Structure 1
Amino acid sequence: MGEIVERRDRSLDLDTFRESVTDSFVPLETSIAPDTDFEGHIHGTSLGQVQVAEVVASAHTVRRTPRTIRASDPGFYKVGLQVRGYCVLTQDDREAALTPGDFAIYDTTRPYQLSFDDRFRMLVMMFPRELLRVPPTGIAELTARRISGRQGMGALVAPFVKDLGERVFDTAPAVAVHLNDAVLDVLAAAFAEQLQITDSLSLESRHTALRVRVGAFIDDHLSDPGLDTTMVAAAHHISVRHLQKIFEADGTPVGGWIRERRLEQCRRDLLDPRLCHLPVAAVGARWGFSDPAHFSRLFKARFGVTAGRYRSAGGALDQPVD
């Protein structure tokens, strides 16, 4: 893969941006409308063989042409998730109009074009074609087709990738590399759903996709005091035993995962000045801890101090207990 360019904190002029685009991805032609001011940046990192890049820039167009393909043809797929702004992706005589939350796949071995008519933010994942466990003939049917981030597997992939984009650049390389397979499995599940071939996915890929779906469900229901292992299993039409097996690889049982996610939300709320008027017990209740004494014990066990002391210290006493 190309060199990953880390220039997140300063804007680049057009010429430098052009070089960064090619260095970060594959050779591309970048152009802007005449008499247009331009600024942008690219920030990227690697998750094993999956490259993740954040692109923020003014209006412009990038093209993968026969000439740039001849210059370098490594055989990658790219998946772009629109986070802010609007994009039109063209490949294989198809056109995908992407709005925030939408994503699409495209193939660097054939010409394509991305047009941005205003300032935007996009997260781009690039990886060798052979790593995506979906038949190439199937992917050829999906290039430049909009996949909505508001329904089906797309509704899980979009927030998963967006959250990845928020966290991955600050994640230690030794940890980030373990996300490689998770990203590929989730994308494979989304594309297989589009092709209606989910039965052909490996058991591992199906488990990963289900794990992401369960995690999203838990995050959406943390405020419900009734959220427990039985509720999660029933919502996904699987047995409690099957659900527990899915979480075994992480070393944390489902109940422990729910508790940890709730405590993390409480920790954040205790530091939020907009919520300073809420009593500590009310903060716990916001995230499903209906028993104040139970919440107090759990918080102190997890963070080493009481919730009240943690709030008054502004988090300075934050010493998580492993």
Structure 2
Amino acid sequence: MPATTVRPAPPANQDVTTSIARTFDDWKHLVAESFVPLSAHTADADGFKGILRSRVLDRMSIIEVTATSHEVHRTPALIARTGERYFKLNLQLEGTGLLIQDNREALLQPGDLAIYDTNRPYTLAFEEQARMMVVMFPCDALTLPTDYVGQLAAVRMAGTTGLSGIVGQFIRQLSENLDVLGGPSGSRLATNALDLVSTMLHAEMDIAPDRMKPQALLAASIREYIDANLADPLLSPASIAAAHFISTRHLHNVFHESGITVASWIRSQRLDGARRDLRDPLHAGKSVSTVAARWGFLDAAHFSRTFRDAFGMSPTDWRRS
């Protein structure tokens, strides 16, 4: 995400939406509206059936997909039409699915997980009726660098053991309780889900470190350090570089490869934390300036301007909305 990008205010958590495709043309429209622009094909348009159940939790969308045989494609032309970059995490619930990205193929059985990047071409194919959960979120919602996650695109993560099994069960429980995931509790669960996904991806790195580039590992370590020190008003490129025994120039180069500056990453993470706290009943008795200070913003006026620039409304209006 470029440093100059202004993010729209995240929507309030939305109720569950159920959409039924009466025709395959309906389905093509539904998947394009619910995810990112996609092209869809099937060999049995007359017999096709598809249902989407979805809910927005903060900046994350959870979508249950049930459909008969078909495939979807994310092409370079469609990618060029999209603004924000997303990751999608698939949990296969029934049937099988084939995910293809970056010359890798992941054949997903029930319980398996796989992650992929909407900014690069991919194909999803289902030879028979299948059901899956898709968790979609902006790339900057993870503390992990985008190029690191990209090295795990279309890598099957077995849902029977280890952390992938725990994450799979958590997402399955979310899918079975979409109707009750509202308000601040839903936002906290969304944050917890993304933390679990990050932990799972770290575990994959530990299992196969030879797949990971040293620069990606350094970027992951740096972002973890930033995340742990967001409350420190003295957090700066110089202090981050010193903690990792690198020059500030090297630090800026690490972030440059991800298309974002160090300062803008720190700012976006602080703003997201403050935004969550302003809606959290646990912090309802705290002033806006107190919440801001908790995330490293010591100047209330500066925080208010920065918040408005990022989300299009003042912190007070966001808290009341």
Please name the residue that 1:45 is paired with: 55
The aligned amino acid for 2:114 is A
Distance 1:73 1:160 in 2: 30
> Residues 7 and 184 (structure 1 numbering): CA distance in 2 closer, same or farther, change over 3 Å?
closer
Please name the residue that 2:118 is paired with: 108
TM-score calculated relative to the size of structure 1: 0.59
Instruction: Tell me the alpha carbon deviations over residues 209-229 of structure 1, each in whole angstroms, 9 at most, x when there is no partner.
Output: xxxxxxxxxxxxxxxxxxxxx
Q: Report the Cα offset of residue 166 of structure 1.
A: 0.4
Q: Report the Cα offset of residue 37 of structure 1.
A: 1.1
Please name the residue that 1:163 is paired with: 173
RMSD in angstroms over aligned alpha carbons?
A: 2.9
The aligned amino acid for 1:116 is F
| Correspondence 1:194 to 2:197 | no
Please name the residue that 2:193 is paired with: 183
Instruction: Tell me the alpha carbon deviations over residues 227-274 of structure 1, each in whole angstroms, 9 at most, x when there is no partner.
Output: xxxxxxxxxxxxxxxxxxxxxxxx9xxxxxxxxxxxxxxxxxxxxxxx
Please name the residue that 2:160 is paired with: 150
Distance 1:23 1:78 in 2: 15
Q: Report the Cα offset of residue 6 of structure 1.
A: 5.8
Structure 1: runs of 5+ lacking an equivalent: 207-250, 252-322
The alignment partner of 1:22 has SS state of helix
Distance 1:105 1:157 in 2: 12
> Residues 6 and 171 (structure 1 numbering): CA distance in 2 closer, same or farther, change over 3 Å?
closer
Aligned length: 207
TM-score calculated relative to the size of structure 2: 0.59
Structure 2: runs of 5+ lacking an equivalent: 1-7, 210-216, 229-281, 283-321
Distance 1:177 1:102 in 2: 25
The alignment partner of 1:96 has SS state of strand
> Residues 10 and 64 (structure 1 numbering): CA distance in 2 closer, same or farther, change over 3 Å?
closer
Whether the aligned pair in 1 keeps the contact of 2:55 and 2:61 (CA below 8 Å) is yes
The alignment partner of 2:80 has SS state of helix
The alignment partner of 2:177 has SS state of helix
Distance 2:191 2:15 in 1: 23
The alignment partner of 1:144 has SS state of coil
Distance 2:90 2:190 in 1: 16
Identity %: 31
| Correspondence 1:128 to 2:145 | no
Instruction: Tell me the alpha carbon deviations over residues 193-223 of structure 1, each in whole angstroms, 9 at most, x when there is no partner.
Output: 00128994849999xxxxxxxxxxxxxxxxx
Please name the residue that 2:23 is paired with: 13
Whether the aligned pair in 1 keeps the contact of 2:15 and 2:56 (CA below 8 Å) is no
Distance 2:21 2:175 in 1: 19
